[in-house]
């Protein structure tokens, strides 16, 4: 347990350092928000790496659940309370359960081999680094408005505001999405039937 | 809670998206590929919510709502396809699911 | 700022202690209650100096000691990490869900107003539903990680059952939310303090009797108790998804069972039976409809409210124990039929009827 605590402390310090360096934040003005973000970000990256690096699909799925839960916590820190709860209910509580179901039904053991051959791995590394270069661009030229006002309109991120937008401006998208869900249900039932009679 | 500058959220989203992208390209298990796609969708969700907070508009959260719904529908149908393919070939390795190759 | 952190920590500690002690006491209630129902004596063998204390010594002291000192067996080809993680993942969301329930109204100490709710959220009921839907993972992990086909079968059945009855639960909550116009649990309980016609406390069950029945059925199904306990069908699947567990981990699975009983009882109380509301008790004292008042100091009012909440929660825990030892078990296909073709259309009809009435004559609050 002491080893675990030590690892966690090291992770905290490293991630805080990363946030200070990458974010260009004055060390004197670090506060609880930055610390929480640093912790969440580092744990999220670690569990995302766990998704793609684990040999066993069940462990990948559980790493993804951890990532989704940490994302929900990040949403709460961004004042998006309803979206955070929906993330837990829909993503972590339903979609990932579906994934786990399928893995259990197909009784998938460890993947051998887990990854593609070296040529594909090299190409993936190139693609990944191209994208990260684009991200580094944001470090070099941070977007204006980083000192956005911390004061929010009252009721921001509450269900009333979300519902007001959904049922007035986005009503068409809402109805089309419900038809999409119906199509998905029918499609999944038809595809999973043993034989069509 | 005081505001973390937005480019930190963008970089975090980019890193998560890259990890998902590499997962799709490198892993051979179709279900793990699917999970990497979900990871990419979630990275996009994070960026949407971060912008919604910084620009103080609810539009980002509404978009996240729809992205989640579409991801649910896609996961259901995709996993049904995987189960149907498994019934035929007894494998979920993307290299061996090559029905349409000539 | 540190005072706020301290108050939040104390509230969280109170909730954890409350849930865990309720879970322990419910174990004793279950054994002695089942004995009463089945016309036998129940556990009374363990005693200290000849005092058996009606089975309390047995259930609350001897049994935990036995579980703590038993050998922890992990099956040979099981996934060690997941096997150890499953009981913890099972217990965590249940305790955290209980934390969102309001235990009392506000307590004013030295000018500081403390609301007696460990997690005051404006999306309270969504949060509780989210935590209950995370409870599926404990079952899935316990079933998979044991490398045993009985456990796997119990795990698959258990998780299928839980996600099926989540929908009915959510829809009956939707009808409740429409009636009160808010997702916040504390606001819902406060709204149930109004008096209809000047004398009848406006508890949720008067507005949503069908919703209460649906919610209670779905809640008992979520906690996988008889008559919905096919996943741990004792005579068919040995012990279902926790077959391969022994010692402390088994105790944690059992504690989760009773903690879920407490959470469902707490939810039913909060949504349908007025939460911490005592009829006619306002913040100053009793205000009876005839005009008579009985003024009470604020601390006494708060104590009465917390006591009312506990009494109601204990009543519904006892009700669930009674249901368990009275009804036979549903077969798995009957269980699925009941969830999808029975409760789901019923709760949809309930939502439709509630929406029509709310549009026609307006919400009560």
A89 to C122: CB separation less than 8 angstroms, yes or no: no
How sure is the predictor about C287, in pLDDT bands with cuts at 50, 70 and 90? Answer: confident
Closest CA to C264 of C308, C216, C306: C216
Lowest mean pLDDT among A76-85, C274-283, C347-356: C274-283
Residue A101 to residue C156, Cβ atoms within 8 A = yes
**Structure ipTM over 0.85, yes or no:** yes
How many degrees, rounded to 5, is the angle at CA C351 between CA C349 and CA C352? Answer: 65
Confidence of residue C142 (pLDDT cuts 50, 70, 90): confident
Q: For residue range C302-313, what is the model confidence (pLDDT) as tens digits?
A: 899 999 999 999
Average pLDDT of chain C to the nearest whole number? 87
Q: Which of A66-75, A113-122, B11-20 is predicted least confidently?
A: A113-122
pLDDT in tens, C34-78: 888 888 887 777 777 777 677 777 778 888 888 888 888 888 888
Taking Cα atoms as reference points, which of C179, C160, C293 lies closest to residue C221?
C160
Helix axes A2-23, B6-26, angle to 10 degrees: 110
Q: What's the pLDDT at B42?
A: 96
Min Cα distance B88 → chain A (Å) is: 11
3-state secondary structure of A195: coil
Residue C365, pLDDT score? 63
Q: Do A93 and C130 touch (CB under 8 A)?
A: yes
Can you tell me whether residue B20 is helix, strand or coil? helix
Backbone angles phi, psi at B27, to 5 degrees: -75, 150
The confidence score (pLDDT) of residue A177 equals: 95
Contacts of A61 in chain B (CB under 8 A): 31, 35
Structure tokens at C68: 């703590």
Whether the CB-CB separation of B35 and A64 falls below 8 Å is answered with: yes
C155·A105 Cβ contact <8 A: no
Is residue A116 a contact partner of residue B27, using CB atoms and an 8 Å limit? yes
Assign C214 a pLDDT band (cuts: 50, 70, 90).
Answer: very high
How far from B78 is each of A86, A101, A176, CA to CA, in Å? 21, 13, 20
Q: Which residues of C touch A85 (CB under 8 A)?
A: 123, 126-127, 129-130
- Distance, in Å, from the CA atom of C178 to the CA atom of C158, rounded to the nearest integer, reads 31
Q: B18 — phi, psi (to 5°)?
A: -65, -40
Kindly list the distances between the CA atom of residue A192 and the CA atoms of A188, B37, B84, B86, C335, in Å, as whole numbers in the listed order: 6, 22, 6, 11, 21
A89/C140 Cα distance (integer angstroms): 16
CA A70/CA B45 separation, integer angstroms: 13
Establish whether chain C is in contact with chain A, requiring a minimum of 3 CB pairs below 8 angstroms.
yes
Take residue B44 and report the two structure tokens written for it. Answer: 């996009």
Token pair recorded at residue C316: 């519904």
Per-residue pLDDT reduced to its tens digit, C99-125:
999 998 888 887 788 888 888 888 889
- CA of B42, closest CA in chain A: separation in Å? 8
Partner-chain contact A58 C144, CB within 8 Å: yes
């Amino acid at each position: 347990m002491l080893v675990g605590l030590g690892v966690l402390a090291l992770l905290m310090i490293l991630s805080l350092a990363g946030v200070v360096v990458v974010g260009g934040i004055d060390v004197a003005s670090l506060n609880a928000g930055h610390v929480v973000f640093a912790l969440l970000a580092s744990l999220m990256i670690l569990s995302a790496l766990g998704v793609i690096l684990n040999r066993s699909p069940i462990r990948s799925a559980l790493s993804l659940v951890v990532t989704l839960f940490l994302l929900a916590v990040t949403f709460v820190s961004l004042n998006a309370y309803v979206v955070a709860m929906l993330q837990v209910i829909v993503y972590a509580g339903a979609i990932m359960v579906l994934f786990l179901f399928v893995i259990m039904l197909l009784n998938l053991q460890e993947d051998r081999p887990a990854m593609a051959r070296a040529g594909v791995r090299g190409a993936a590394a190139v693609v990944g680094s191209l994208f990260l270069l684009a991200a580094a661009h944001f470090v070099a030229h941070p977007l204006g408005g980083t000192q956005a006002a911390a004061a929010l309109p009252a009721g921001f991120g509450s269900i009333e505001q979300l519902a007001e937008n959904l049922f007035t401006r986005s009503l068409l998208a809402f109805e089309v999405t419900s038809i999409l869900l119906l199509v998905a249900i029918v499609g999944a039932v038809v595809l999973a039937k043993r034989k069509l009679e | 809670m005081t505001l973390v500058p937005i480019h930190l959220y963008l970089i975090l989203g980019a890193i998560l998206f890259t990890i998902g992208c590499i997962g799709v390209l490198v892993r051979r298990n179709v279900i793990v590929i699917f999970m990497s796609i979900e990871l990419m969708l979630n990275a996009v969700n994070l960026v949407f919510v971060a912008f919604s907070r910084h620009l103080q508009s609810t539009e980002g959260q509404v978009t996240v709502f729809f992205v989640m719904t579409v991801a649910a529908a896609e996961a259901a149908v995709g996993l049904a396809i995987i189960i149907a393919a498994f019934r035929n070939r007894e494998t979920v390795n993307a290299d061996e699911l090559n029905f349409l190759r000539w | 700022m540190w005072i706020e952190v301290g108050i939040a920590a104390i509230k969280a500690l109170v909730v954890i202690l409350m849930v865990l002690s309720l879970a322990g006491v419910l174990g004793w209630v279950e054994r002695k209650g089942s004995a009463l129902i089945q016309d036998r004596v129940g556990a009374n063998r363990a005693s200290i100096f000849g005092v058996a204390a009606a089975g309390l010594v047995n259930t609350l002291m001897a049994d935990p000691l036995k579980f703590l000192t038993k050998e922890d067996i992990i099956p040979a080809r099981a996934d060690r990490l997941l096997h150890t993680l499953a009981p913890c993942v099972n217990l965590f969301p249940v305790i955290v869900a209980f934390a969102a329930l309001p235990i009392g109204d506000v307590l004013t100490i030295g000018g500081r107003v403390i609301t007696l709710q460990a997690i005051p959220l404006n999306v309270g009921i969504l949060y509780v539903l989210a935590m209950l839907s995370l409870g599926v993972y404990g079952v899935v992990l316990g079933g998979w990680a044991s490398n045993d086909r009985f456990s796997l079968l119990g795990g698959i059945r258990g998780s299928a059952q839980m996600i099926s009855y989540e929908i009915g639960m959510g829809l009956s909550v939707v009808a409740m939310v429409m009636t009160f116009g808010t997702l916040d649990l504390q606001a819902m309980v406060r709204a149930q303090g109004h008096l209809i016609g000047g004398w009848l406390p406006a508890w949720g069950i008067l507005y949503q009797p069908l919703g209460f029945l649906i919610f209670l059925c779905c809640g008992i199904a979520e906690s996988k108790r008889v008559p919905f306990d096919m996943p741990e069908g004792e005579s068919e699947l040995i012990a279902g998804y926790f077959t391969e567990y022994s010692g402390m981990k088994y105790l944690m699975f059992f504690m989760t069972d009773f903690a879920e009983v407490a959470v469902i009882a707490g939810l039913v109380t909060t949504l349908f039976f007025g939460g911490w509301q005592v009829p006619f008790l306002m913040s100053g004292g009793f205000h009876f409809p005839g005009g008579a008042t009985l003024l009470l100091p604020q601390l006494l009012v708060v104590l009465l409210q917390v006591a009312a909440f506990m009494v109601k929660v204990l009543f519904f825990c006892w009700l669930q124990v009674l249901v368990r030892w009275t009804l036979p078990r549903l077969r798995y296909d009957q269980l699925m039929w009941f969830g999808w073709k029975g409760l789901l259309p019923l709760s949809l009809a309930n939502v439709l009827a509630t929406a029509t009435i709310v549009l026609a004559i307006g919400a009560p609050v």
